Structure 1
Amino acid sequence: MYDELIQSGDLSLARKSVLPGTGFFLPDTLEDDLEDQQTEAALEGAEVAVIADPDADGLACVALLREAYDDVQNIPDPDEDGDGDDADRPESVADATDDADEENVVIAAGDADEPLEEPEPTPHTVALVPASPHDVEDALARVAEYGDEGIDIFVCDLAPDRYEYVEDELAAALETADSIAWYDHHQWGDDVARAVRETGVDLVIGDSDEECSADVVYRSLEYEFDPMYEELAAVTRDHDLWLREDPRSDDLADYAYWTDPAEYVEVVREYGVDLPEWVTDYIAERRVEKEALIDQAVGRAELREIGGYTVGITYGRCSQNEVAEAMREQGADASVIVKPAGSASIRGTDEFELCHEVAGKVNGGGHPKAAGCKPDIYDDMLDYANHWTTRGAVTKRVILDAFRDVVDEAAEEQAAEADDADASDD
Structure 2
Amino acid sequence: MDDDLIDSGRLPLSRKSLLPGTGFFYPDSLDEDRADERVKEAADGAEAVVVADLDADGLGCAALIRELYDAAVDPEPFLEDIESRLEDDGPAVTDEDDEDEEADGPDSPVALVGASPHNVEDALERVAEYADDGIDAYVCDLCPDRYEYVEEALEALVAHADSVRWFDHHQWDDEVAAAVRNAGVDLVVGDSDEECTTDVALRSLDYEFSEQFAELAAVTRDHDLWIREDVRSDDLADYAYWVDNEEYVAVVGAYGADLPEEALAYVEHRRVEKGKLIDLAVSRAEFKHVGEWTVGVTYGRCSQNEVAETLREQGADAAVIVKPAGSASIRGSEGFERAHEVAAYVDGGGHPRAAGCKPDIYDDMLDYANHWSTQGNATKRVILAAFERVAEAVEETEAADASEDEGVETEL
The question of a shared fold, defined as TM-score above 0.5 by the shorter chain, is answered with: yes
Q: Distance in 1 between matches of 2:241 and 2:293?
A: 32
Runs of 5+ consecutive residues of structure 2 not aligned to the other structure: none
Measured against aligned partners, the alpha-carbon deviations of 1:81-116 in whole angstroms (never above 9, x if no partner) come to 8955435799655432xxxxxxxxxxxxxx2x2321
SS of residue matched to 1:9 = helix
Letter in 2 for 1:6: I
- Does the 8 A contact of 2:8 with 2:16 survive in 1? yes
1:204 aligned to which of 181, 185, 188: 188
- For residue 312 of structure 1, give the secondary structure of its aligned residue in structure 2: strand
Distance 1:372 1:92, change over 3 A: farther
* Alignment match, 1:291: 275
Q: Which has the higher helix share?
A: 2
Tell me the residue number matched to 1:49. 49
Which aligned pairs between 1:284-363 and structure 2 lie closer than 5 A? 284-363=268-347
- The correspondence for 1:416, drawn from 397, 400, 409, is 400
Distance 1:147 1:309, change over 3 A: same
Q: 2:218 aligns with which of 222, 234, 253?
A: 234
| Structure 1 pair 92–47 and aligned structure 2 pair: CA distance change class (3 A) | farther
Pairing partner for 2:103 from 112, 115, 118: 118
Tell me the amino acid that sits aligned with residue 219 of structure 2: V
TM-score of the superposed pair, with normalisation by structure 1: 0.94
Q: Is the 8 A contact 1:60 1:233 kept in 2?
A: yes
2:90 and 2:406 map into 1 onto residues whose CA distance is: 63
Q: 1:248 aligns with which of 232, 248, 262?
A: 232
CA RMSD of aligned residues (A): 1.6
Contact kept in structure 2, 1:91 and 1:114, CA below 8 Å: no
Cα separation, partners in 2 of 1:26 and 1:195, compared to 1, 3 Å: same
Q: 1:183 to 1:88 in 2, by over 3 A?
A: farther
Instruction: Give the superposition deviation at 1:241.
Output: 0.4
Post-superposition CA distance 1:199-258 (Å, at most 9, x none): 110000000000000000000001000100000000000000000000000000000000
Q: Which secondary structure state, in structure 1, belongs to the residue aligned with residue 38 of structure 2?
A: helix
User: Which is worse superposed, 78-87 or 271-280?
Assistant: 78-87
Q: Contact conserved, 1:185 with 1:207, CA < 8 A, in 2?
A: yes
Contact 1:93–1:115, Cα closer than 8 Å, also in 2: no
CA contact (8 A) 2:57 2:141 kept: yes
For residues 342 and 155 of structure 1, what CA distance do their matches in structure 2 show? 26
Q: Which of 374, 378, 392 pairs up with 1:394? A: 378
Q: Which amino acid aligns with 1:129?
A: V
Distance in 2 of aligned mates of 1:305 and 1:35: 43
- Runs of 5+ in structure 1 lacking a partner? 97-110
- Is the 1:182–1:201 Cα contact (8 Å) retained in structure 2? yes
Please give the alpha-carbon distance, in whole angstroms, between the structure 2 residues aligned to 1:240 and 1:116: 26
Q: 2:301·2:324 contact (CA, 8 Å) conserved in 1?
A: yes
Percentage identity across paired residues of the two chains: 62
1:282-302 deviation digits (Å, cap 9, x = unpaired): 111100000000000000001
Amino acid at match of 1:291: G
Kindly report structure 1 stretches of 4+ aligned residues shifted beyond 3 Å.
77-94
Cα 1:26/1:89, change in 2 over 3 Å: farther
User: TM-score if structure 2 supplies the norm length?
Assistant: 0.97
2:207 alignment counterpart? 223
Q: Is the 8 A contact 1:345 1:372 kept in 2?
A: yes
Letter in 2 for 1:52: A
Partners of 2:94 and 2:220 in 1: CA distance: 17
Structure 1 residue matching 2:343: 3-state secondary structure: helix
Q: Judging changes above 3 Å, is the alpha-carbon distance between structure 1 residues 176 and 119 closer, same or farther for their aligned structure 2 residues?
A: farther
- Secondary structure, in 3 states, of the residue corresponding to 1:245? coil
Q: 1:274 to 1:211 in 2, by over 3 A?
A: same
Checking the alignment, whether the CA contact within 8 Å between 1:45 and 1:148 is kept in structure 2 is yes
